[in-house]
């Protein structure tokens, strides 16, 4: 109607001009027929978020990262179609502190979970609460480990930090006899290998939610955290310990060490298979384009490097994690982000990508504008820390409080006694040459120390002995600095 009215108000065109106008109109209509409908998220619908994270999966242990042993075909393919943080860092590389930061966007000295098996308070607006405030439905499946009331205890709704759908256990690493609670206090059991069963439940949830409005789903797997030798046999059969190529910084290449590493890789391959099923479900339900699909881990695993297993230490094997964001609307091809990205940055970045208001309680940085081509926040460094050594990181075994920075190239760490570690990770990727107090590196050390001090000021970290923070939060620890917990 508007087009007819517009023509009726113009002076009568000549016959030749009229033919040309008609030809233009026909061409325009043809073009409109060729342009596909805009995807739902481009039309104002907020994207879904499926956030998947493993426990203790180090950044190096993928095919796309160059590991010569591990088989991760799904992740390798996903990486070619994702934005990847090449320097994703676990700020405090141990289970509960990471999870506290994921759920609040805060640093551990603020949310208080700087040890395992303590309870995360409700002082901050949580990840799920922020998404719910924007109209999202929220679900959590798998390992929780921020409740602190016993690893097998029921977690009531008021301590779930805004998650509605719930199939969760506080913590277990018995992957083949794994329990969980749903909405009630009846203890239920996952069938078989728990990561596979949890993945099937996540697929069911996605199918149920698809097309019903935006949702946030967090899936938290327990593997590849030790015990290493418990992956399904078909994945264990993929690795022969004597054929593995260990990193140069692994001093002990005995059969026992090799068996552990092989078992770790078997878990990784099992999870890779699970991830492939999830990705297929996003495609099958037609919501892949409208879903931010994230894969990462809470921290890494030393796997014999520098003579250690597990985490808490400031070496790359413990602090660096894989981090892929697959969202076709953001990028359809592999793109690597070099800027260091820390655990507290996850929540604000996801909220920023989804156009959801970031709560004032958040301390982490929003990288969403950087992912869209803007400048990187963070000053080129991520903070790494151990606020209170505990458990496997005992003081007798060298455990100590530390603060440090990981830049794109360097690692610099101070303990309470002063400068401790300095590595040029470009020249020394296995961190075998400590340059701390080397006269030739004095200027670099001074520069990195100033950067660390700035990070500590920005995060209100006064870098005190662990006892001060333990006393402040009224935690009770044993001789190894560990909070005792009920199994």
422 vs 176, 196, 307, 425, CA distance in Å? 41, 41, 19, 9
Q: How many CA atoms lie within 13 A of 339 on its CB side?
A: 19
Q: 39 or 393, which is more confident?
A: 393
In a domain, 60, yes or no: yes
Q: 9 or 376, which is more confident?
A: 376
Same domain, 204 and 275: yes
Residue 233's pLDDT band, with cuts at 50, 70 and 90, is: very high
Same domain, 410 and 375: no
Q: Which of 92, 95, 171, 354 is catalytic?
A: 95
Cis preceding linkage at 227, omega within 30: yes
Question: Is the sign of the CA dihedral 279, 281, 284, 287 positive or negative?
Answer: negative
In a domain, 318, yes or no: yes
Mean per-residue pLDDT for 356-380?
97
Q: Tell me the C-alpha distance between 200 and 220, whole Å.
A: 13
Q: Tell me the C-alpha distance between 103 and 193, whole Å.
A: 26
Q: 144 or 24, which is more confident?
A: 144
429 vs 147, 316, 407, 433, CA distance in Å? 37, 9, 13, 10
What are the pLDDT digits (tens) for 413-431? Answer: 999 999 999 999 999 999 9
What are the pLDDT digits (tens) for 20-73? Answer: 444 434 333 333 333 233 333 444 689 999 999 999 999 999 999 999 999 999
- By residue range, what is the domain housing residue 402? 385-472
pLDDT higher than 60, residue 123: yes
Q: What is the pLDDT of residue 122?
A: 97
Q: What is the pLDDT of residue 342?
A: 98
Q: What is the pLDDT of residue 18?
A: 41
Residues 74/295, Cβ–Cβ less than 8 Å: no
Same domain, 331 and 447: no
Q: What is the pLDDT of residue 355?
A: 97
Whether 306 is catalytic is no
Which of 322, 354, 379 is the last residue in one of the domains? 379
Q: What is the pLDDT of residue 425?
A: 98
Please give the tally of structural domains in the chain.
2
Residues 139/220, Cβ–Cβ less than 8 Å: no
Question: How would you classify residue 405: left for phi > 0, otherwise alpha for psi between -120 and 50, otherwise beta?
Answer: beta
Token representation of residue 108:
């551990």
343 SS3 class: helix
Mean per-residue pLDDT for 89-105?
98
Residues 383/405, Cβ–Cβ less than 8 Å: yes
Q: Tell me the C-alpha distance between 269 and 236, whole Å.
A: 9
Phi (first) and psi of residue 193, to 5 degrees? -65, 120
Q: What is the pLDDT of residue 8?
A: 33
Same domain, 224 and 93: yes
Same domain, 374 and 438: no
Token representation of residue 374:
């803007």
Residue 88's pLDDT band, with cuts at 50, 70 and 90, is: very high
Same domain, 192 and 63: yes
Residues 274/196, Cβ–Cβ less than 8 Å: yes
Q: Report the CATH number at residue 52.
A: 3.40.720.10
Same domain, 260 and 333: yes
**Mean pLDDT, the chain, whole residue set:** 92
**What is the per-residue DSSP string for 121-148?**
-S-SPPHHHHHHHTT-EEEEEEE-----
Which of 379, 408, 441 is the last residue in one of the domains? 379
In a domain, 117, yes or no: yes
Phi (first) and psi of residue 103, to 5 degrees? -80, -20
In a domain, 2, yes or no: no
Q: Which of 92, 111, 145, 161 is catalytic?
A: 145
Which of 329, 344, 379 is the last residue in one of the domains? 379
In a domain, 33, yes or no: no
Q: What is the pLDDT of residue 30?
A: 34
Share of the chain above pLDDT 70, in %: 91
Q: Tell me the C-alpha distance between 466 and 481, whole Å.
A: 9
pLDDT higher than 50, residue 379: yes
pLDDT higher than 80, residue 271: yes
Same domain, 341 and 366: yes
Mean per-residue pLDDT for 326-350?
97
Q: Report the CATH number at residue 431.
A: 3.30.1120.10
Cis preceding linkage at 4, omega within 30: no
Token representation of residue 103:
């759920």
In a domain, 482, yes or no: no
pLDDT higher than 90, residue 11: no
Q: What is the pLDDT of residue 45?
A: 85
In a domain, 81, yes or no: yes
Q: What is the pLDDT of residue 231?
A: 98
Same domain, 343 and 427: no
In a domain, 487, yes or no: no
Q: Tell me the C-alpha distance between 424 and 466, whole Å.
A: 29
Same domain, 196 and 339: yes
Same domain, 211 and 128: yes
Is the overall model pTM greater than 0.85, yes or no? yes
pLDDT higher than 90, residue 17: no
Q: What is the pLDDT of residue 136?
A: 98
Mean per-residue pLDDT for 313-322?
98
Same domain, 444 and 370: no
């Amino acid at each position: 109607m508007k087009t007819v009215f517009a023509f009726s108000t113009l002076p009568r065109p000549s016959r030749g001009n009229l033919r040309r106008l008609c030809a233009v109109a026909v061409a325009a209509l043809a073009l409109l027929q060729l342009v596909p409908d805009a995807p739902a998220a481009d039309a104002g619908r907020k994207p879904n978020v499926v956030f998947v994270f493993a426990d203790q999966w180090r950044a190096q242990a993928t095919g796309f990262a160059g590991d010569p042993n591990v088989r991760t075909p799904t992740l390798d393919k996903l990486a070619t179609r994702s934005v990847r943080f090449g320097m994703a860092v676990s700020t405090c590389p141990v289970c509960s502190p990471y999870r506290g930061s994921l759920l609040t966007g805060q640093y551990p000295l603020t949310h208080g979970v700087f040890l395992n098996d303590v309870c995360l308070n409700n002082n901050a607006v949580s990840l799920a609460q922020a998404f719910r405030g924007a109209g999202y439905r929220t679900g959590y499946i798998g390992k929780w480990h921020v409740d602190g009331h016993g690893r097998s205890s029921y977690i009531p709704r008021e301590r779930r930090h805004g998650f509605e759908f719930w199939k969760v256990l506080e913590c277990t690493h018995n992957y083949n006899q794994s329990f969980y609670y749903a909405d009630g206090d009846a203890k239920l059991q996952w069938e078989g290998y728990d990561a596979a069963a949890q993945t099937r439940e996540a697929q069911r949830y996605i199918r149920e939610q698809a097309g019903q409005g935006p949702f946030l789903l967090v899936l938290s797997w327990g593997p590849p955290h030790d015990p290493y030798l418990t992956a399904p046999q078909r994945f264990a059969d993929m690795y022969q310990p004597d054929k593995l190529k260990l990193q140069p910084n692994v001093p002990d290449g005995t059969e026992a060490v090799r068996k552990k590493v092989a078992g770790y890789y078997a878990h990784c391959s099992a999870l890779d298979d699970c991830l492939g099923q999830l990705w297929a479900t996003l495609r099958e339900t037609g919501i892949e384009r409208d879903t931010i699909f994230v894969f990462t881990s809470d921290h890494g695993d030393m796997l014999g490097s520098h003579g250690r297993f597990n985490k808490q230490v400031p070496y790359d094997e413990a602090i660096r994690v894989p981090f892929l964001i697959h969202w076709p609307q953001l990028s359809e091809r592999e793109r690597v982000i070099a800027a260091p990205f820390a655990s507290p940055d996850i929540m604000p970045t996801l909220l920023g990508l989804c156009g959801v208001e970031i709560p004032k309680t958040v301390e982490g940085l929003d990288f969403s504008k950087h992912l869209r081509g803007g400048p990187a926040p963070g000053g080129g460094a991520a903070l790494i820390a151990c606020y209170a050594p505990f458990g496997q990181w005992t003081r007798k075994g060298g455990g100590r409080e530390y603060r440090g920075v990981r830049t794109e190239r360097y690692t610099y760490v101070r303990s309470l006694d002063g400068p401790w570690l300095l590595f040029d990770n470009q020249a020394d990727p296995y961190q075998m040459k400590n340059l701390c107090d080397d006269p030739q590196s004095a200027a670099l050390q001074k520069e990195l120390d100033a950067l660390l001090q700035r990070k500590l000021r920005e995060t209100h970290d006064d870098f005190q002995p662990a006892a001060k923070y333990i006393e402040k939060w009224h935690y009770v620890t044993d001789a190894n600095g560990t909070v005792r917990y009920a199994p």
